[in-house]
Structure 1
Amino acid sequence: MYSLYLCNNAPMIDWQDLLHFVVLARTGSLSAAARTLGVDHATVGRRIAALERALDLRLVDRLPRSSPLTSDGRAIAELAMEIEEKVEAIRRYSRGAAAKPASAIRVSAPPSIAARLVAPNIPDFRRRHPDITLTLSGSTEAAALDRGEAEIAVRMTRPEEADLLVRRIGTMRFGLYALPKVAAQPPESWSFIGYDLRLDHLTQQAWLNSLLAGRQIVFRAGDVFGQQEAARAGLGVVALPVFLGDADPVFVRLPTAVPSPARDLWLVTYPDLRRSPAIRSVMDFLSEIVGKACQIRE
């Protein structure tokens, strides 16, 4: 157990109490904080109460469905988040400085890139780097590198954090695809396959919406693979990354009235991790395979 001390060595704050409070401040409720931390909500409540006693301040207004911070709580949360960032920076530095040839590195990437570009090339990477074990996460959500969810990420939006090391490694382009028998039907009779409505903001979905011209989306899926399989079954027309659609022999690419969008792909890590030879090897590997499949210039 770690504590922060006053100058007379009297214990002042338990670091775990402070950490639980930071997560509560971020999530807004005891239940959400408990899910994030992997504990029950009563544990979060006890930790917050202990911190309030240590500081002799009321930090949270306890309401039935939420736990808004008091003015003192907001001030303490802001300071505590700065401490959390420093602690995480120390951890990152130690991982980079103490990195050994045998390393385990977590990579986050969009699902299509993770499954169809990175995973198939892992055997070659292992032959070249047998002492590096990769853990690959394919997610539409950006991994929080500042909270240790991954060491390296491939993102489809340029990060805004000033302290990240960012490199553009490719450009993802999109096309419209269907089975030949679907493509042979009159275009006005086409039906479409798209993303779940909660992902309607995605660039590729907005492009697909612009092509509908009154025609229907008859099936939605939260990931591109569900959409691809529905199109392979002949359900309708689907928008896919070009590297995915062109590689599927059952599809033909359809002409479109609206030019297809392109999204830059960014490789992201923290500069203090970059000193690790293992991190550099993984970054070079990702740059190579993504850059080859998603070339910046057509």
Structure 2
Amino acid sequence: MFDWEDLRYFAAFVNAGSLSAAAKSLAVDHATVARRIAALEAALNLKLVDRRPRAYVLTDHDRRVGEMAQQMGEASFALEHFANAGQQAIEGQVVLSAPPALLGSLIARRSGELLARYPALALKLIGSKSRASLTRREADIAISLSRPGEPTLVAQLLGHLDYRLYAAASYLRRGLAPAYIGYDQSQAKSPQQRWLLQQAGDGPFVLHSNDLRIQAEAAAGGAGIACLPTFMAKEHQLEPARPEAGSMSIEIWLAVHEDARATPRIRAVMDFVQHCLRPLLRL
């Protein structure tokens, strides 16, 4: 009989596509993933990967085993949450994934309220610009800037977050030609960056960062004009720049796996997230 943990590691490898990526998703080293795959092969008496000098390569046969492993993992996940849904106690860990700016400024800052209300609850907050996979159990709840497409997820539009151009009062008083602060290439296709580029036209960019909070700090220090959500501009005492540019907005979605949404601890965190975010969003 094979070890279920070995099967879980192999499924992670199939999903991730490489030992290093699977190791990162599982928070282990790649040697552990390789060892688990070898143990599964021995238990099943099957060769599951083609070992090459620089990589492990899957065959179609191997992928089918990976698909079955993923289905078994999903069934286990559903059974666990079905059992949890029948319990009334709000206890245990909930993993929440969200864009870092929302997670830090709006949720982590108020997390003490939730934990004081439910002392047996524990939070794990993952700041991620791309939504963590709920299907692969990377998170229990995810907040994202686009609607999730997986059929097993339940998604709810919380509202729209407005962005405008902001700068420090000291910068605006200098009366210089506008210079801008924006995302680097890793976020070049984001709607905020595309809108900012339209507003900037031929204006120079003096600072790029992949983190919106760093952009806000740079704007507060007088480096230039940044495209920021209103709550962050207030947090850094920034003032509107170029009011004629107007505003843009992005959707904020909350998603949970359909088998997990009735679990009391997950329901409690979902309600808390909505309580934190909804007053700052436009419906």
Indicate the TM-score class for this superposition, using the shorter chain for normalisation: 0.7 to 0.9
**In 1, are the aligned partners of 2:225 and 2:241 still within 8 Å (CA)?**
no
Deviations 1:87-120 (A, max 9, x none): 2222232333335144443322222222222233
Q: Structure 1 residue 71 and structure 2 residue 60: aligned?
A: yes
Q: Cα distance 1:19–1:126, how it changes in 2: closer, same or farther (>3 A)?
A: closer
The aligned runs of 1:11-160 (5 Å cut-off) are: 11=1, 13-126=2-115, 128-160=117-149
Q: Cα distance 1:136–1:210, how it changes in 2: closer, same or farther (>3 A)?
A: same
Deviations 1:211-244 (A, max 9, x none): 2222222211121111111111111110101222
**In 2, are the aligned partners of 1:220 and 1:227 still within 8 Å (CA)?**
yes
Deviations 1:260-282 (A, max 9, x none): 32111112223333323443333
Q: Structure 1 residue 208 and structure 2 residue 200: aligned?
A: no
SS in 2 for 1:145: coil
SS in 1 for 2:274: helix
**In 1, are the aligned partners of 2:10 and 2:36 still within 8 Å (CA)?**
yes
Deviations 1:40-59 (A, max 9, x none): 43443333234334444432
- Structure 1: state its 5+ residue gaps: 1-10
Partner of 2:279: 292
Q: In 1, Cα distance between the equivalents of 2:126 and 2:156?
A: 20
Partner of 1:8: none
Q: In 1, Cα distance between the equivalents of 2:16 and 2:93?
A: 29
Letter in 2 for 1:193: I
Q: Structure 1 residue 245 and structure 2 residue 236: aligned?
A: no
Question: Which structure's CA Rg is the greater one?
Answer: 1
Q: Cα distance 1:289–1:32, how it changes in 2: closer, same or farther (>3 A)?
A: closer
> Could you tell me which of 224, 248, 251 is aligned with 2:212?
224
Q: In 2, Cα distance between the equivalents of 1:68 and 1:260?
A: 48
- Structure 2: state its 5+ residue gaps: none
Letter in 1 for 2:33: V
- Give the TM-score taking structure 2 as reference length: 0.87
Tell me the number of residue pairs that the alignment of Structure 1 and Structure 2 aligns: 283
Q: In 2, Cα distance between the equivalents of 1:274 and 1:58?
A: 38
- Give the TM-score taking structure 1 as reference length: 0.83
Partner of 1:182: 171
> Could you tell me which of 247, 252, 260 is aligned with 1:273?
260
Q: Cα distance 1:53–1:124, how it changes in 2: closer, same or farther (>3 A)?
A: closer
Q: Please, which moves more after superposition, 76-85 or 137-146? A: 137-146
Q: Cα distance 1:190–1:22, how it changes in 2: closer, same or farther (>3 A)?
A: same
SS in 2 for 1:262: strand
Q: Please, which moves more after superposition, 114-123 or 124-133? A: 124-133
**In 2, are the aligned partners of 1:29 and 1:65 still within 8 Å (CA)?**
no
Q: In 1, Cα distance between the equivalents of 2:54 and 2:238?
A: 51
Q: Cα distance 1:71–1:128, how it changes in 2: closer, same or farther (>3 A)?
A: closer
Q: Cα distance 1:31–1:202, how it changes in 2: closer, same or farther (>3 A)?
A: same
Q: In 1, Cα distance between the equivalents of 2:11 and 2:206?
A: 43
Q: Please, which moves more after superposition, 47-56 or 111-120? A: 47-56
Q: Please, which moves more after superposition, 128-137 or 215-224? A: 128-137
Q: In 2, Cα distance between the equivalents of 1:64 and 1:248?
A: 51
